[in-house]
Amino acid sequence: MATLVLTGAGNVELTRRILSDLFVVPELAGTLRVVLHDIDRERLDTAQVLADRLNAEASAGARIEAHLDRRAALDGADFVVCQLAVGGFEAALRDFEIPARYGLRQTIADTIGIGGIFRGLRTIPVLVGIAADMAECCPDAWLLSYTDPLVMSLWAVRAATGLANVAGLCHAVRDTHAFLADAVGRDVDQVSFLTAGLPHQAFVLEFAADGRSLYPELADAVAADPRLARHVRMEIWRRFGFFPTESSEHAAEYVPWFMSREAEIRRLGIPVGEYLGRLGQNLHIYEEIRRRMAAGRPMLTRWQDPEIASEVLVAMLSATPRRINLTVANDGLIPALGNDCFVEVPATVDGDGITPRRIESYPVQLAALNRTYVNVAELTVHAVLDADPRHIRHAAMLDPNTAASLPLPEIAKLCDEMMEAHRDLLPAGIVTPDLKGEA
């Protein structure tokens, strides 16, 4: 019986999607032990009721357990799916409200930027703690993480614990492939893709069918629809030559050219503060699931596309190979980016685990753009693992959107205020009053 641990299981919509996917696979019937973990008792109880309901509706024959204690949950795990939001809504709100007072605009704030840096600072210690417990309780298990910022958190996990079986999960590549196929009037299964780079900043290197590139057809489709042309990712494609995987609202805040300019925000329809609306929607979804269960409504759902975690788990457990874009340790997969970094590349997933594909010829301009992202991630990792708060300011000063929006003295003041606001969620060695006037 394979043991799957869902930590952060109180994110009940994702828990529902993953378990629905797994419980309807005939080959997995009676083979799963599902262990739920969360630090919030009410959410954990909700997740357990949900999992029991799904198990019964699917006649899946799974064993369901729930634990507030993390080490008890991890004991004997084969797979750990991580879905964390350290600090919850209140921390995310501070990530937006404080920078906004300085005139710094953000959209999602979960990857780089001031919001991404501070999300990383409070998330890395928790994820490293989970990985350290895994190294003792289930050293051969796979850690499959949805938790942003992916590059920062997984980089820190590997550096701090040496945990080998680690991969990050993101929907962006799959969604982009579907968007591009639709844009040129084809089914996604008819198109050949090769996509690689960083999570939230990867690029479609090959977009082809019938032995020819479909990029000319995409150009025709965009030319025929002025509304389609007015998006950040279209602008990046035109300038860099390859289509980016991340949505326009995400992509806008990883670069210096858009968020600091009111005219560009209007021209490209950039939704400043978008993530706060999404958080509100997530709270609504949680309450709606509780209402549906209380009313006795069916909870098992067959989604059009399975969750990324579900695809990986089914491929490994059934030894059925699948090709999935995943975030893994670079180790030379994209030579132009540092080996310690984590990158997003196509991988074959099967009963032997994850075998990533090396990208032989990654365009130099894409690597250069990626390195501006990697700089911020690397410095944030060092801020936590070296307990050196100076690197928080270094990361912020080198962040493209922050540097384009604020002068150095304001960046320093903003970092100080953010450190104080998040004090209770940050490692003690980072929050210090001794940086006044220092880099």
Decide if pLDDT at 432 tops 90. no
In the predicted model, what is the mean pLDDT of residues 344-357?
98
Q: Give the CA-trace dihedral at 348, 352, 353, 358, to 10 degrees.
A: -40
Q: Is residue 197 part of a domain?
A: no
pLDDT at residue 434, rounded to an integer: 53
Q: Is residue 89 part of a domain?
A: yes
Quick count: other Cβ atoms within 10 Å of Cβ 167?
24
Query: What's the CA gap between 259 and 251, in Å, rounded?
Result: 10
Say how many domains are in the chain. 1
Q: Is residue 24 part of a domain?
A: yes
Q: Is residue 378 part of a domain?
A: no
Query: What's the CA gap between 64 and 51, in Å, rounded?
Result: 7
Residues annotated as catalytic (active site), given as ranges: 171
Q: Which residues contact 332 (CB under 8 A, 6 or more apart)?
A: 339, 358
What pTM value is reported for the model? 0.96
pLDDT at residue 438, rounded to an integer: 56
Q: What is the extent of the structural domain holding 62? A: 2-168+296-314
> What integer best gives the mean pLDDT of the chain?
96
Interval 229-242: pLDDT, tens: 899 999 999 999 99
What Å distances lie between residue 138 and 1, 294, 408, CA to CA? 15, 36, 45
Q: Is residue 10 part of a domain?
A: yes
For residue 247, count CB atoms less than 10 angstroms from its CB and return exposed for 0-12, middle for 13-18, buried for 19 or more. Answer: buried
In the predicted model, what is the mean pLDDT of residues 72-94?
96
Backbone φ and ψ of 10, nearest 5°: -65, -10
Q: Is residue 361 part of a domain?
A: no
Query: What's the CA gap between 259 and 255, in Å, rounded?
Result: 8
Q: Is residue 32 part of a domain?
A: yes
- At residue 428 the predicted structure's pLDDT band, cuts being 50, 70 and 90, is confident
pLDDT at residue 54, rounded to an integer: 98
Q: Which CATH number does the domain housing residue 135 bear?
A: 3.40.50.720
Comparing 40-54, 135-149, 189-203, 423-437, the range with the smallest average pLDDT is: 423-437
Query: What's the CA gap between 384 and 160, in Å, rounded?
Result: 10
Interval 360-393: pLDDT, tens: 999 999 999 999 999 999 999 999 999 999 999 9
pLDDT at residue 437, rounded to an integer: 46
Q: Is residue 88 part of a domain?
A: yes
In the predicted model, what is the mean pLDDT of residues 64-71?
98
Query: What's the CA gap between 145 and 261, in Å, rounded?
Result: 34
Q: How many whole angstroms from its chain centre is CA 193?
A: 21
